[in-house]
Amino acid sequence: MRLMLLPGDGIGPEIGAGLRHVLSAANDRFGLGLTLETAEVGLAALTKAGTTLPETVLEAARGCEGIILGPLSTYEYPPASEGGINASAAFRKELDLYANIRPARTRPGVRAAASDMDLVVVRENTEGFYADRTMFAGSGEFMPTEDLALALRKVSRAGSARIARQACELAMRRAKRLTIVHKANVLKLTDGLFHKTASKVAEEYREIEVDEVLVDAAASLLVRQPSRFDVIVTTNMFGDILSNLTAELSGGLGLAASLNAGDQYAMAQASHGSAPDIAGRDVANPSSLILSAAMLFDWLGRRNGVPDLRSAADAIERAVDGQLAEPAGRTRDLGGDFGTQAFAQAVADRLRAGHA
C-alpha cells in the first residue's frame, strides 16, 4: 500500500515526522505492507520549483492509494498566476474529493466546552461559495469595478445528492440519525435545492431518523445541546464553519481529524493551520494529523475490503485516547509536558505494545 505524505508548511514537517512513528508502528503490528512516499508542497516547493504544487506531485499522488496533507500557509502564497496554488483546494478539485468528513467527540480526561459531544459533520467540498473550486474556468469571485465585489454560489442537484448519500451511509453505521442543515428560508433557490435533494436521498434510507435545522439554530444547539446531533450534512461554507465550532467545543482543533473523500481517492488532512509562530519548537500537537491518517486507513479498509486497515485505524484512535488520558503525557497545548515527537512516539509505543 502506497501512501503519499505532504508535510506542508509551518509545523507541518514536525507533525509529519511524528506521524511517521505512528504509521511505522501500525505497519509493523498489522502487516499492512505500507510504503510512505514524501513530497514537498507549499513554501518549500515554491522556493525549489516555482510553485506550491508541482504537477509532478499531483501526478504521483494519483498513483498512490491515499494522501496525507499537512497544514498550509496559504495566506503567505503569491497569486496563483505566480505559483501560489492552494494544494488543499487543488487536490479536492482535481481528485473530486467531494466529501469533507469531520468527526468531533469529547475525549476522556481532556477538558472540553462540550461534555457529551460525539458527532460527525459531513460537508460538501466542491461547490458552495468557494471561489477557487466552483467554476470550470475562472473564479466564482470577481470585481466589475473597484468598488464592487461579487461572488457566485454553486449548488447542484448532483453535488447535493452525492454528499447526502455519503452522510446517509455514515449514519447507517452510527446511530441512524441525520440532520440536514441549511438556510433555505433565505437562500430559497440554492439551499432550497440542497435541502430538497438531501431529503429525497434520505427517504431511501428508511431506518434513518431525519430532521432539518437552519444553520443559525444549529450553531446555537451545538453549544447548548450537542447530544441532539449525530451526523450533520450541509453545504460547503456552512460545514466549514460548523466543523470548526464542533472541533473547538470537543477539545480543540489540535484533536480534530478530517478526511476528504471521493469515489476513487481520499486525503487525510490536519484540520488546523500551519502555526508558523511555533514552528521548529517541537511543541505542536500531532493528534489531528494522526487521527486523520486513521480515518484514511478506515476509508481504505472499507473501500478495499481490508479488515486489517480498519483494525489499524481503531487501534491508532485508541492509542491516541490512551495517551491523552495521561495528563503529563499530553502536549503542552493540553497542559502536558510532552513535545511533538515524544507524544507521537508514545502513541507508536502503545500501538506496538498492543495496548490499543
Domains of the chain and any CATH numbers: 1-105+253-356 (3.40.718.10), 113-249 (3.40.718.10)
Q: Please state the pTM of the whole predicted model.
A: 0.94
- How many angstroms separate the CA atoms of 192 and 293, rounded? 35
- CA 201, 202, 208: angle at the middle one, nearest 5? 160
Q: Which residues contact 148 (CB under 8 A, 6 or more apart)?
A: none
Nearest CA-CA partner of 236 in 132, 354, 95, 111: 132
Q: Would strands 141-145 and 148-151 be described as parallel, antiparallel, or unpaired?
A: antiparallel
- How many angstroms separate the CA atoms of 350 and 109, rounded? 18
Task: Write the pLDDT tens digit of every residue in 101-132.
Answer: 999 999 988 999 998 899 999 999 999 988 87
C-alpha neighbours within 13 Å on the C-beta side of residue 9: 24
pLDDT number for residue 137: 83
Q: What is the helix (H) or strand (E) element at residue 179, kind and residue range?
A: strand 177-182
Q: Would strands 266-269 and 66-69 be described as parallel, antiparallel, or unpaired?
A: parallel
pLDDT number for residue 94: 93
From first to last of its 356 residues, the chain has per-residue pLDDT tens of: 999 999 999 999 999 999 999 999 999 999 999 999 999 999 999 999 999 999 999 999 999 999 999 999 999 999 999 999 999 999 999 999 999 999 999 998 899 999 889 999 999 999 998 887 778 888 889 999 999 999 999 999 999 999 999 999 999 999 999 999 999 999 999 999 999 999 999 999 999 999 999 999 999 999 999 999 999 999 999 999 999 999 999 999 999 999 999 999 999 999 899 999 999 999 999 999 999 999 999 999 999 999 999 999 999 999 999 999 999 999 999 999 999 999 999 999 999 998 76
pLDDT number for residue 108: 83
Q: Which residues contact 179 (CB under 8 A, 6 or more apart)?
A: 210, 211, 212, 213, 218, 228, 229, 230, 231, 232, 233
